[in-house]
Amino acid sequence: MGKIMVFARGIPLLGGLVDCSWQDHWESLRQTAVIVLLSTTPIWLGAVIVYSFGVNLEFASFKDALQNTAGNGELFMYSTALLAPVF
């Protein structure tokens, strides 16, 4: 196990992550989930609002509302805005 950890420390993407505990990784995952949830709120909340004011309340209409909310390039804007808090 020692040789693998030494090798993994040399990989730039892993680096210091090798020395972190599972609790550190879990905390980081929780924080990332909260950031993703809050950063994508305009997308899914807008779709929920459009869906709730609609006449047809089937899953296909929710899918259409979600696609219309993020279908004109807004998803690219939200994706780039999401990178800042993660990094």
Q: Are 62 and 45 in contact (CB under 8 A)?
A: no
What would the pLDDT profile of 2-57 be if each residue is shown by its tens digit?
777 777 777 777 677 777 788 988 998 898 888 888 878 877 887 888 788 877 77
Q: Count other Cβ atoms within 10 Å, centred on residue 63.
A: 12
Q: What tokens were used for 74?
A: 């807004």
For the entire predicted model, the pTM comes to 0.59
Of 79, 77, 51, whose CA–CA distance to 64 is shortest?
A: 51
What's the pLDDT score for residue 46? 79
Q: Where are the domains of the chain?
A: 21-86
Question: What distance in Å separates the CA atoms of residue 66 and residue 62, rounded to the nearest whole number?
Answer: 6
**What mean pLDDT comes out for the span 62-70?**
79
**Distances, alpha carbon 40 to alpha carbons 7, 8, 75, 82, in Å:** 37, 33, 9, 8
Q: What tokens were used for 54?
A: 């609609």
